Amino acid sequence: MNLDLLTVESTRTAVLEKQTTATALADAFYAKIEADDPAIGAYLTLCKDRAYSQAAAIDALADKGDALPPLAGVPIAVKDVFTTKGVRTTAASKVLGNFIAPYDATVVSRLEDAGAVILGKTNCDEFAMGSSNENSGFGPVRNPRDHSRVPGGSSGGSAAAIAAGTAVAAIGSDTGGSIRQPAAFCGVVGLMPTYGRVSRYGLIAFASSLDHPGPFGKTVKDAALMLQVLAGRDPLDSTTADVPVPDYCAYVGQPVTGLKVGVPAEYFGEGLDAEVRAAVESGIQKLAKAGAEVVPLSLPHTPYAIPTYYVIATAEASSNLARYDGVRYGLRVEGKSLAEMYRRTRDAGFGAEVKRRIMLGTYVLSAGYYDAYYLKAQRVRSLLARDFDEAFAKVDVLVTPTAPTPAFKLGEKIDDPLAMYLADIFTVTADLVGIPGISIPCGKSREGLPIGMQILGKHFDEGTVLRVAHVVEHALASKMVYEISS
C-alpha cells in the first residue's frame, strides 16, 4: 500500500473492507516517520501507546462487523498547540518543554471519538507565532518538496507531515494564515473554518479573537470529512457558535454554475510573483469555464490589514503569554526575587520572535498608546469587515492567491521581521473578519514548488467554499501523486 496516496476516505475504506488494519497502518506510518522525518522535522512528540490503543479498538470493531466511525483508522498528526492528556504539549516552546497536558483539547477528543489514530504532535512556530516554522524552540521544519525551503508557518509541521506522507491528515491553527499559507507552500489542502465553527478549548492561545483550529488533507474531500467531525457547538468554549452543521461532503461535487466569484484587485497588485499570478488566474478561468460568473471588485482597506493584524495579534499575545511566569507550570528558572525569577524564566523560555511580539503588544496596550494604536486598529478591523460584507452582497466567494510567492529559502527572511510578516499579506484579512477560507494547490513554479489558490466565503458558509474548491481541484487535476523531494 502506497502511504503517499492514501486519503481520509480511502484509508477508512481499506480498514472497512479489511484490506488492512488500523494497527498495520500505524506500524507502516511509524516506520515511515522513523525513516523520513529526521530530515524534515515535522514531529516533536510521538504518542505510540495512545495510537496503538486506538488502532486496536478500531480493529476490534472491524472484526466484529460493527459500524465504523467516520475516521476509523485514519492516521492523523496534531499541531503541538492542542493539549493531549498524558502527552507532552509544548507549543514548540522551551517554556513548556516538559509540560504534560492534564486534559484533551475538544479537537483531539472529537477526532478520537470519530476513530482517528493520532500519531503524534507536530512542530510549529513557537506559540504559533511565525510564517516559516523557523521560530520553533526545537528546530525548524523543512519543506518536503525542497528541503532547502520553509514549509510555511506556523502550522508547517502539520502541512509537511502530509506532504511527506507521514500522516494522512492533520490539524493546525490559523491566526493570520497559519493553515492556508503552509498548505500553499507544501502543496496540500488547508481549511480555516469560520471563527466559532470549531472549538478552541484546549488550544494554547496566541491571539484569542483570531485563532481558528482547522484541518489539512490531501484533497478537498479530506478537508470536508475532517470538518464534519470537528465542527459544532462546544459547551466548553463559549465562543463556539450554536449554528447547524451541514453535510459538508454533500457540497463536494456540486457544480458552480450560476455562482458569482469575486476577484479583488488588491490581491493581484505589486509584489505578486508572476508565476503565482498565472497559476491563480488559470484556476479562475477554470471556474468561469465551469459556469461561474467572475466579478472584479475591490476591498479598499486591504492595505491596512497587515499593520492592523500585528497590533491586535501582539496585544492579545502579550496578555495570553503573561501566564508563563515559572510559578504555575512549565519552565522555572530560580532567582533571588520573584521579579528576577519571572525575568530569568521568560528570558530562557521564550524565543526571539515571541519576545518581540510580547514587547510590541505591551507597548500598544500601554497608557498613552492604547488609543493611538490598539483602539485605532480595532476601528480599521471594522472597516475591513465592512469591505467583506459589501463584497459578499455581490458575490458568493472570493478567489485570491494564498501567498505572494512560492516557498522561500530557509533563513531568507528570518532576520527581516517585516519581510516575514508580509508573507501573510493575503491571509490575515480573513482572520481579522472571522470568515472561512481554504487553500488548494493550483499549479507549480518552474522550480517545481507548489502554488496555492485561496477561496474565501461568507460566515458559516464553508459548504460553498468546499464546493468551489473541489471544482478547481478537479479541473486542475490537483489530486496529484505526492512526489517527495529528497
Closest listed residue to residue 396, CA positions, set 472, 454, 455: 455
Element (H, E) at 164: none
Residue 336 CB contacts under 8 Å (≥ 6 apart), including other chains: none
pLDDT band at 241 (very low <50, low <70, confident <90, very high): very high
Predicted model pTM: 0.96
**pLDDT tens-digit readout, 424-449:** 999 999 999 999 999 999 999 999 99
Q: Please check the confidence at residue 478 and state whether its pLDDT lies above 60.
A: no
Residue 486 a catalytic site member: no
Report residue 417's pLDDT band, with 50, 70 and 90 as the boundaries.
confident
Q: Are strands 397-401 and 450-457 parallel, antiparallel or unpaired?
A: antiparallel
178 has catalytic annotation? yes
Band of pLDDT at residue 486, cut at 50, 70 and 90:
very low
- CATH T-level topology, domain 3-254: Amidase signature (AS) enzymes (3.90.1300)
Q: What's the chain's average pLDDT? A: 96
Checking 223-226 for CB contacts under 8 A at 24+ apart, the result is: 223/189, 223/190, 223/191, 223/438, 223/466, 223/469, 224/248, 224/249, 224/251, 224/252, 224/466, 225/8, 225/9, 225/70, 225/71, 225/249, 226/8, 226/71, 226/169, 226/171, 226/191
Q: Is the pLDDT of residue 392 over 80?
A: yes
Q: Is the pLDDT of residue 354 over 60?
A: yes
Residue 63 confidence (pLDDT) above 80:
yes
Question: What pLDDT sits at residue 207?
Answer: 97
70's grid cell: 467516520
The model's pLDDT over 148-203, given as tens digits with 9 standing for 90+, comes to: 999 999 999 999 999 999 999 999 999 999 999 999 999 999 999 999 999 999 99
Domain with CATH 3.90.1300.10 in the chain: 3-254
Catalytic residue among 79, 218, 286, 413: 79
**18 catalytic, yes or no?**
no
> Which one from 132, 154, 199, 478 is the annotated catalytic residue?
154
DSSP structure class, residue 420 = H
Averaged pLDDT for residues 238-258: 97
Q: Which of 93-102, 394-403, 427-436, 474-483 has the lowest mean pLDDT?
A: 474-483
Q: Which of 109, 131, 178, 478 is catalytic?
A: 178
